[in-house]
A = this chain, B = another copy of it.
Amino acid sequence: MSTTPAVTLARRPAGTPRPDDFAVTDVPVGQPGPDEVLVAVSELSLDPYLRSVLGPGHLDEPAVPIGGVVPGRAIGRVMASRSASVTAGTWVLAETGWRARAVVPATSVRPFTVPDGVPPSAVLGALGMPGLTAYAALERHLVPRPGDTVVVSAATGGVGSVAGALVAAAGARPVAIVGTSEKAKDAVDVLGYRAAVVRTAPDWEAQLAEACPDGIDGYLHLADQPTLTGVVKQLAVGARVSLCGLMDQYNDGPRTVLDAGAVMTARAVVHGMVVYDHGDLASEHAAKVGELLASGDLVLHEERHAGLHRAPEAFARLMSGANRGKVVVEVTT
């Protein structure tokens, strides 16, 4: 049996992950058995939900064991197939984990195409799970109406960059909350947000109030406790909130809480979002986001890292909020 480069979990991260929580090593890789395929990974998707996979565990699934290959989604090419439904040479989306080659069940891979002029990595972001998260949160929870003000946190990330374009496409005003002034610039200059607020600024709540003079009609939450606390104070009557990700909890921090009195005063509706429940929207999501990508109303905003060995550092950047756009690792080995 031969081996393939991989990234494993060296120790369980405490708080925000550090590059040395991981190890770059070689792991065995075999040939596909019946109904399996061998995938050569081309690009790896780094997403915040992976933080909970590293410990304590994501949703009801146990954490990855120490020494185990870090799980994760990638695009790659089928090199060998023992399935009638997938032929060698096909480009697929697959749960390979952080490794250069992986044998996976043929039923778990998804062949994909992208519209002309759109890079394949869109399947990991705007056309993938982060984009579907944004689409479903807007379609099912926030339901922006023309003239509404919709605030999106982590606004330049994989979910947020798509959410902003979808809000604008619905005729509503997207307002960004971001972690750095560089991201604020990206939000307005690249991603079409009408205004952007840096959540670490001492007067950020006043800035948000100025950007949302009629209150906040919709809020997509993918940030930390102070952001949530500050936003819910400014909800308009009848506001909708979609809880898509809790940054503190990803990083093992205290439980994120929501002020119940503010929810009552605004007669707000708060939705817990788990993207796996919204797979039925996948084809309308792909159609709508494909259209926005093709027209240029949605710009693919990516931070690319070259080499599998860069994944630990790239993930630490992502989880500390230093990244600029959806984080993709090019697997060049």
Which residues of A line the B interface, CB within 8 A? Answer: 59, 221, 228, 243, 246, 249, 255-261, 263-274, 277
Contacts and interface: CB of A to CB of B under 8 A. Distances in A.
Contacts of A271: 263, 267-270
Given A258-B270, A269-B270, A269-B271, 7 more contacts: A221-B260, A243-B260, A257-B260, A263-B270, A268-B272, A269-B272, A270-B270
Nearest to A249: B261
A255 B228 CA distance: 15
A221 B263 CA distance: 13
Contacts of A249: 261
Contacts of A257: 257-260
State the copy count for this chain. Answer: 2
A286 to B, nearest CB: 22
6 contacts: A59-B265, A243-B263, A256-B259, A256-B260, A267-B271, A270-B270
A299 B249 CA distance: 46
B273 A267 contact: yes
Most buried by B among A256, A257, A266: A257
Contacts of A263: 243, 258, 270-272
A260 B246 contact: yes
B246 A261 contact: yes
Nearest to A238: B277
Given A255-B259, A261-B249, A274 B267 contact: yes
A264 B265 CA distance: 21
Contacts of A256: 259-261
Contacts of A221: 260
